[in-house]
Amino acid sequence: MVASFTRDGALTLANYGTVWRLYTRDVVYTVAVAAAGTLLTFAVAIPACGWLRARAFGPVEFLLKVPLFVPFVVVGHALRVFLSPYVPALASSWAGIALALAWKHLGLAALLLLGAFRSVDESYLEAGRNFGASTPRLTRDILVPMAAPALAVSAILIFSSMLASFSIPLMMGRGSGPQMLMIDVYYRFGQHGDFATASALGVVAYLLAMGAALVYARRLTAS
């Protein structure tokens, strides 16, 4: 942290200047990939968990939790070999990274969402069903609004985790073009030996994670 403000022993903002010059595109890219991954995770997890809330079905619930136990590096490699023979373009692109991140976080999302959905009182669902509402309808109009705070917390947790992800982009990334921030930190530090700029990049990543939390806190106090 302190190192990000010093260069050759002097206090300076030059490191942030370097970040601004070289990495603005990567910051945008990282936020975009993390946002896409979060959206994808929830696009799958919300209907799946709504369905599971309405009718418990063990095998599917079990499958959804499997990614929790698969380490990040293994996910990166697995998605890489899964995609590369069939859709090689996807295996090493931003979409591939987002897909792998979403796959890994599906377990966490399912765990958190199922907990939140199950704490919604059964009587609301009964009432909805009596009016003939289908499961997707129940999910959209009852479960999601009532579990909104928990949903927001899980979304922020997952978003910051994706921002900070290192091993999945490392396994699936390409040599050229924009990179995820953690990859930049790694190469700045590991290959250029430039700890100061690496720290500045790290601080930027912290701020982004904190920014997400702040947006959430703002919305909480506003409503």
Partner 1 sequence: MVASKRYPLQQTSVGTLAVRAGVLAIAAFVIVGPLASLGVWSVAERWTHGSAWPQRFGLRYWTRMLSSDFLEPLRLGVTIAVIVTVLALVLAIPLGYALARLNVPGRTGVLLLFLLPQAFPQLPVFASATREFYRWGLAGTVPGVVLVHLVGGLVFAVWTMTAVFRSIGRDLEEAAWDLGASTTRAFATIALPLALPGLVASAVLVFLYSLDEFTGTLLVGAPFVTTLPVYMYTASVGYELQIASVTAIVLMAPGALLLLLLERFLKSEYLVFFGQL
Q: Which residues bind partner 1 (CB under 8 A)?
A: 3, 44, 48, 51, 55, 57, 59-60, 62-82, 85-86, 103, 105-108, 111-112, 115, 157, 160-161, 163-164, 166-167, 170-171, 181-182, 185-186, 189-190, 195, 198-199, 201-203, 205-206, 209
Q: Residue 41 or 128: which CB sits closer to partner 1?
A: 41
Which long-range contacts does 133-137 make (Cβ < 8 Å, 24+ apart)?
135/50, 135/51, 135/54, 135/55, 136/47, 136/50
Please, which residue, 86 or 131, has the CB nearer to partner 1? 86
Token output for 204: 């930027």
Least CB distance to partner 1 at residue 64 (A): 7
Least distance in Å: CB of 68 to partner 1? Answer: 4
The minimum distance between CB 146 and partner 1, in angstroms, equals 19
**Among all chains, which residue has been given the structure tokens 């022993």?**
9
Q: Which is nearer to partner 1, 68 or 127 (CB)?
A: 68
Tell me the two tokens of residue 43: 């696009």
* In the complex, minimum distance from the CB of residue 212 to partner 1, in angstroms, rounded to a whole number: 11
First-to-last C-alpha distance (Å) of the chain: 35
Residue with smaller CB distance to partner 1, 58 or 223 = 58
The runs of H, that is alpha helices, within the chain are 14-54, 58-65, 72-83, 88-91, 94-118, 122-130, 135-138, 144-146, 148-163, 167-172, 181-190, 195-222
CB of 10 to partner 1, least distance (A): 19
